[in-house]
Structure 1
Amino acid sequence: MNTMKRTIRRDELRKMVPLADSTIYEMERNGKFPKRFNLTSRCVVWDYDEVVAWIEARKEAANDVEKAPGPDVHQRKTRPTKKAA
């Protein structure tokens, strides 16, 4: 039984992965994002399952990342002022 793979175009990819095109292309070149491929000379697509797997892997990696501590507000020399509207 041959199952058809779902593909997504750039507009759907942008909805799933809110990164700039240049960031996605850079990550593709570095092997850190699923590679796109051409269906025709004018139609570029990504494999949906590969993109979903990448997102899930990022979620898992995010759970393992230690967050940077916030700034120590007690070390401020001045208080920030609110600008008049």
Structure 2
Amino acid sequence: MNTAQKTHPIECIRLPEVRRITGLSTATIYRMAVGGKFPHQGKIGEQAVAWIRAEVEQWAASKAEARKRLP
């Protein structure tokens, strides 16, 4: 395996963890996802959805970085 192409396993997280990471409410998470301002969830079962942890964490990091640029 090429060391430059190291892959990390995809970790799926459920809504309570997404809320914990972001501090957002359930309604806000879904509203922002529909509006394209938050990562979309994916179906992992017949009645279950999850988010990819790396995408949620990247979204949170981008918000923190944007805050640093404020006057």
Superposition deviation, residue 11 in structure 1: 1.3
TM-score, normalised to structure 2, is: 0.81
The CA distance in 2 between the partners of 1:55 and 1:3, in whole Å, is 19
Aligned length: 66
Identify the residue that residue 51 of structure 2 maps to in structure 1.
46
Equivalent residue runs for 1:59-70 within 5 Å: 59-66=64-71
1:36-80 deviation digits (Å, cap 9, x = unpaired): 0110121110000000100110011111223xxxxxxxxxxxxxx
TM-score, normalised to structure 1, is: 0.69
Extract unaligned runs of 5+ from structure 1.
67-85
- Relative contact order, higher structure (CA 8 A, sep 6+): 2
Larger Rg: 1
Over the matched positions of the two proteins, sequence identity in percent amounts to 32
Superposition deviation, residue 17 in structure 1: 1.3
The secondary structure found in structure 1 opposite 2:44 is: strand
Identify the residue that residue 10 of structure 2 maps to in structure 1.
5
Between Structure 1 and Structure 2, the one with more helix by share is 2
